Chain A
Amino acid sequence: MSGLLLDQVSKRFGSFTAVDQVQLSVPKGSFVCLLGPSGCGKTTLLRMIAGLEEPSAGRISLEGDDLTMVPTHRRNIGMVFQSLALFAHLSVGQNIAYALRIRGTDQAQQDRRVNELLEMVHLDGYAHRPVAKLSGGQRQRVAIARALAHSPRLFLLDEPLSALDAKLREAMQVELRQLQQALGITTIVVTHDQREAMTMADLVVVMGEGRIRQAAAPIDVYRNPVDAFVADFIGTTNLLPVTRSLQGGALLWGHALEGVAMPAGRSNAVLSIRPENVLLGVPGSGTLDATVTFVRDLGATVEIFLSANGTTFVSVANPRERAEVLVGNTIGVSLSAPNCLVFAP
């Protein structure tokens, strides 16, 4: 069944186009991450879905109902803001019950629902605490519970975890995903953290300059990015310049890359290869030789910075597999064809 449908949605601020003809269909009950660098229009798009900004063009519909002109308070959505926007003058329980109070639900039912939600976000017994006395993670949970109190049709989150420290953020990502799956609610999260998107999303929508660059399952975006921008944004990658050889194959600094084809009609292109696919060996054994400039041993993985032809690129290896490399060593590097993606510049 169709959930949220964005039909050619655009937003212009004066002469600046923040969101440019976005077309997206989100299946009901799925978890979508809008991912992109700051200023790419992802927050503006989310705010239009919430009704906090009016689209300059296009239509937004949810489960068949046209929402484009419906004011925010009649859309029946739940939203978690980056600043959380908890009401400081109300207790935890009153914050969560706010949407029910507005709808005139009776007190006993409000209390029941508040307790149910507090249990869901693991804050049992916090109903009477003032919001100011909570830690960052607890406030986060209250904001989530408040947004879900009225069982909204759509759950929107704007960079919800950006204020938390790294460890707590990772734990909350897992928790948020499990909560969403348990409730089966259509959820849209704006984030600039690709790990967050990979952890939680059914569908990752990578945005750049107001447009959707790619919308696909996280692992598909990672393995088959449509262009260099997406490849660079999702995970880390090495972007290296390649030229067309006389035979029509790809040349990297004069070294032929066997089995790698150039895009049609291009003499220059960009090669993208993930650090884990840059394999090391003895000098002369691979595609080219490179000099080791830096070794970052992180324990679980080792990052080896390599330099060839004045360009630095990275290889990531498992410490058990890695050859003994020292800074200054010359080393053989092989780039195997199946892992090489070539994009038009």
Chain B
Amino acid sequence: MKQEAPQGVADYAPIVFPGLMLLVFFVLPFGTMIAVSFFRRDQGGFYTPDFVFSNYERFLSPFFGNVLGFSILLAVAVAIACVALALPFTFTLSRMPRRPQVLWLVALLSVLSLSEVIIGFAWSTLLSRTAGITNILVSMGLMDAPRALVPSLGAVLTAMIYQAFPYTVLVMYPALVRLDPTLLEAAKTLGASPLQAFFNVVVPALRNTLVATVIMVFVFALGSYLLPQILGRPSHWTLSVLITDQAVYQSNMPFASAMAVLLVLLSLALVGLTSMIGRKENAA
């Protein structure tokens, strides 16, 4: 279908409402945040309008560099783990008969209905010493005494993967359902074992989907705020936790804004880089 170019003002009418919403609820707050990030903080007060770079200069300290680096690495780890787990799972799911497929999808969707708070506390209970899964291991005789598994990096990762996994499956699912099953069969007739066929045929055919999914889960995990606080030690806190700390408890809005701006810019840069690599490989 050929789309005609808008002729007059009236043709732009359908986008007025979304445009307005975007302006009021995204462009203006974001613009305010960028502006505030250049303001000067008043000790014990709020801030006064100014144009200083002192808020950004604070990033150069090793402490913030570490937090930023940890946040990105955590998000990358969650993204890669989610995709690595979800790909074989979704592949198997898409080859199942209709009924179990629907049951699995409903179960996954129900995980999406849980709030981050509930997921966090559920895992902290599951991994606790008094009521956690180690008690089961003890009763099975595999462990001597119950142990607390929180707070730890493992607990943070587990809960974040648990939270992002349904999204990952749902993003991959349509592409895997559309994948021509004869591609795998063709590889088998040519002598490829099922595992070889999967890596030689399914993975390359889904390359773009996989890249897009990694980016999506990465961005999703980068904003993670509650889970690192509930399940991790202070050293596992992400930049989002730090931003809240600065904004709410230290009432240092300019510095919090500067961190938020940096986080947005960094995620945009990483997303852009990934899609650029994807395009280059596609062209080759």
Measuring CB to CB, which residues of chain A are less than 8 angstroms from any residue of chain B?
A: 50-52, 71-79, 81-83, 85-90, 98-99, 102-103, 146-147, 149-150, 156
Shortest distance between the CB of A49 and any CB in chain B (Å)? 11
CA distance A12 to B189 in the complex (A): 23
Instruction: Please name 12 further chain A to chain B contacts, defined as beta carbons within 8 Å, in addition to the given A73-B196, A79-B185, A147-B190, sorted by A numbering.
Output: A50-B185, A50-B189, A72-B185, A72-B188, A73-B190, A79-B186, A81-B182, A85-B182, A87-B186, A87-B204, A98-B187, A156-B189
Cβ–Cβ contact B192 & A73, under 8 A? yes
Cβ–Cβ contact A85 & B185, under 8 A? yes
Given known contacts A72-B185, A79-B186, A150 and B180 CB-to-CB distance under 8 angstroms: no
* Chain A residue at minimum C-beta to C-beta distance from B190: A99
* Chain B residue at minimum C-beta to C-beta distance from A74: B191
Measuring CB to CB, which residues of chain B are less than 8 angstroms from any residue of chain A?
A: 180, 182-183, 185-194, 196-197, 200-201, 204-205, 207
* Chain A residues, Cβ within 8 Å of B191: 73-74, 76, 99, 102-103, 150
Given known contacts A72-B189, A98-B190, A99-B190, A83 and B182 CB-to-CB distance under 8 angstroms: yes
Cβ–Cβ contact B188 & A89, under 8 A? no
* CB contact between B189 and one of A77, A87, A103 (< 8 Å): that residue: A77
Cβ–Cβ contact B192 & A87, under 8 A? no
* Chain A residues, Cβ within 8 Å of B193: 73
* Chain B residues, Cβ within 8 Å of A51: 188
CA distance A75 to B193 in the complex (A): 11
CA distance A242 to B103 in the complex (A): 58
What are 26 A-B residue pairs whose CB atoms fall within 8 Å in the complex? A50-B189, A51-B188, A52-B185, A52-B189, A72-B185, A73-B188, A73-B191, A73-B197, A76-B191, A78-B190, A83-B180, A85-B185, A86-B186, A87-B187, A87-B200, A87-B201, A87-B205, A88-B205, A89-B205, A98-B190, A98-B192, A102-B191, A102-B192, A102-B196, A146-B190, A149-B190
* Chain B residues, Cβ within 8 Å of A83: 180, 182
| Interface pairs A-B: 4 shortest CB-CB | A85-B186, A99-B190, A79-B189, A85-B182
CA distance A88 to B183 in the complex (A): 10
Shortest distance between the CB of B278 and any CB in chain A (Å)? 13
* Chain A residues, Cβ within 8 Å of B207: 89
CA distance A33 to B183 in the complex (A): 24
* Chain A residues, Cβ within 8 Å of B183: 85, 87
* Chain B binding surface, main DSSP class: helix
Shortest distance between the CB of B204 and any CB in chain A (Å)? 4
* Chain B residues, Cβ within 8 Å of A82: 182
* Chain B residues, Cβ within 8 Å of A52: 185, 188-189
* Chain A residues, Cβ within 8 Å of B186: 79, 81, 85-87
The CB with the most chain B CB atoms within 10 A, among A71, A83, A85, is that of: A85
* Chain B residue at minimum C-beta to C-beta distance from A76: B191
* Chain B residues, Cβ within 8 Å of A156: 189
* Chain B residues, Cβ within 8 Å of A77: 189
* Chain B residues, Cβ within 8 Å of A78: 189-190
* Chain A residue at minimum C-beta to C-beta distance from B203: A89
The CB with the most chain A CB atoms within 10 A, among B187, B194, B204, is that of: B187
* Chain B residue at minimum C-beta to C-beta distance from A82: B182
Cβ–Cβ contact B185 & A81, under 8 A? yes
CA distance A10 to B186 in the complex (A): 23
The CB with the most chain A CB atoms within 10 A, among B183, B186, B200, is that of: B186
Cβ–Cβ contact A102 & B190, under 8 A? yes
* Chain A residues, Cβ within 8 Å of B204: 87, 89-90
CA distance A146 to B190 in the complex (A): 8
* Chain B residues, Cβ within 8 Å of A102: 190-192, 196, 200
